[in-house]
Structure 1
Amino acid sequence: GVRNFRDAGGIGSLRRGVLYRSGSLHTLTEEGARKLKALGLRTVVDLRSPFEQETWPDQRHGLDHETLSVPTLPANREDVDLPWPEDQAGLYLFMPETAGPSLATIIRSLAAPRALPVVVHCAVGKDRTGLTIAVLQSLLGASDADITADFLLSNLGLGLDKGPTPYIDETGTERISRPISAELIASSLAWIRTHHDTVPAYLHAHGVTEAELAALRANLTA
């Protein structure tokens, strides 16, 4: 019942079975919950806004896991010049500029003992999840080509390989979900490297220590 669910591992030194990505769990079925339990799920990281979470709360069906609410984007669209969802190119430059604190929180959480396996999700697991997973995969030594290939699988997972599709957002407004391209995630990674030289340096700028990065890598590779 969950859209766009897949294992993010198998590239770089990121092993399979520890980091999953998906759309919102508000459509999770009881059968889906049993499958997540069989995976040993311990943590769910929800990148959506508080309003999205209130409108479409994740379903648990008896699952016992920790849920972390770590919004990637500012909570109130009216308070900032937010290029989303209409301006895809603008969004992928805006996200790395503003997502540093949320990414730092996620890394600290996943570096902790017994945090894994984890599911990271937003609404459909495409944009906010795409950036978060790309950063984590990069930290585990994945090449940009492999990161991009995984990123683009969301087009298939969401049926966007056939073109844009309409959807209703959390405010009840009809919007258009557009396919993602390699250029989008490349622009996010380029923004990070232009402003901070490397992904680890970007995270250091937001308070992540080298010890925390080492613990994250150990968790995701061991």
Structure 2
Amino acid sequence: MTRHIEFANIHNFRDVGGYAASDGRTIRWQRLYRADSLSWLTGDDAERFRALMVRTVIDLRGPDEVRQRGRAPETEGQRYHNLPVEGRPWNIRQFDPEVGLGRFFADRYLEVTEDGVDNLRTAIETIAKADSAPVVVHCVAGKDRTGLLIALVLALAGVAEDDIVADYALTGLATERFIADGPRKYPDHPIWPGFGVAPAEAMWLFLTDMAARHGSVEGYCRKILGLDAATIEDLRANLTDPIPGG
């Protein structure tokens, strides 16, 4: 199976399945998707999205973004959760080219782990439930807020850091389309050096800093988010399958 699912009007929709997890298991396909803004799904794109039979949409954008841009196409029986996780608005004027995009992004992700505690916990608890799947997580570009949440989920499932970083960096394949579409979709959003870019260094730095602060991603999820052992076990059980022949 392929990770990216092609749509005409969104550029970063992909399946998170296939990665090796803990205990000889692997992340199941067609259980968890990540995406850029689903509000752009119309016409044939909307029909293709409905064909995926998504049960749960987790929208990490703020309420103002939802009001201005709209939300995912509604489907009968689908659950929609608006769970904004950013507390501090980004100031891209703080970006220092000498420090680099990786450090700038990693610092912003660390802020989200401080500011978005309640909604990050709710999002992970939702993903952990068997009847939530298939789940799609999205924000605007499907890179920063979405990338952070997916990194937490994959780490809890026992996916190696190399694969977590690689999954994050796949957003870079959509960068040219993001930049080309940016002025039409987001005329009020500056096209800056970090627009649509997902440097692997950003996720490496983030995971390294999480380990330094909390011992591990799981340590953060237990101590700061307050996730209990049963939720983490449910997440692993519902997102993973034994490797065939293993």
TM-score bracket relative to the smaller structure: 0.7 to 0.9
CA RMSD of aligned residues (A): 2.5
Instruction: Output the CA distance in 1 between the equivalents of 2:135 and 2:94.
Output: 30
- Would the aligned equivalents of 1:30 and 1:61 in 2 still touch at CA under 8 Å? no
Q: Deviations over 1:89-133 (max 9, x none)?
A: 233223234243332111111122310001100101111111111
Tell me which residue corresponds to 2:215.
197
Give TM-score scaled by structure 1 length: 0.86
Determine the structure 2 residue equivalent to 1:9: 17
Structure 2 counterpart of 1:172:
188
Shift of 1:62: 4.3
| Residue 141 of structure 1, CA deviation | 1.6
Q: Distance in 2 between matches of 1:86 and 1:57?
A: 29
- Consecutive unaligned residues of structure 1, counting only runs of 5 or more, are none
Residue identity over aligned pairs, in percent, reads 31
Q: Deviations over 1:32-90 (max 9, x none)?
A: 2322222220001111111111111114164541111111211x63xxxx455863423
1:94 to 81, 87, 108: 108
Q: Output the amino acid matched with 2:221.
A: L
Find 1:72's aligned residue among 85, 90, 104: 85
TM-score normalised by L of structure 2: 0.78
From 233, 237, 244, give the equivalent of 1:214: 233
Please state how far the C-alpha of 1:209 moved relative to its aligned partner.
0.5
Structure-2 change in CA distance of 1:59 and 1:212 (3 Å): closer
Maintained 8 Å contact 1:192/1:202: yes
2:162 to 111, 121, 145: 145
Distance in 2 (CA, whole Å) between partners of 1:33 and 1:160 is: 19
**Secondary structure of the structure 2 residue equivalent to 1:120:** strand
Q: Which amino acid aligns with 1:8?
A: V
Q: Return the alpha-carbon distance in structure 2 between the equivalents of residues 173 and 150 of structure 1.
A: 25
Larger radius of gyration: 2
Aligned residues: 215
In structure 1, C-alpha distance between the alignment counterparts of 2:154 and 2:162, rounded to whole Å? 11
Q: 1:85 to 1:30 in 2, by over 3 A?
A: farther
1:117 to 134, 154, 174: 134
State the one-letter code of the partner of 2:105.
L
Q: Unmatched 5+ residue regions in structure 2?
A: 1-8, 21-25, 96-100, 242-246
> What does residue 56 of structure 1 align with?
69
Match of 2:4 in 1: none
Q: Secondary structure at the match of 1:123?
A: coil
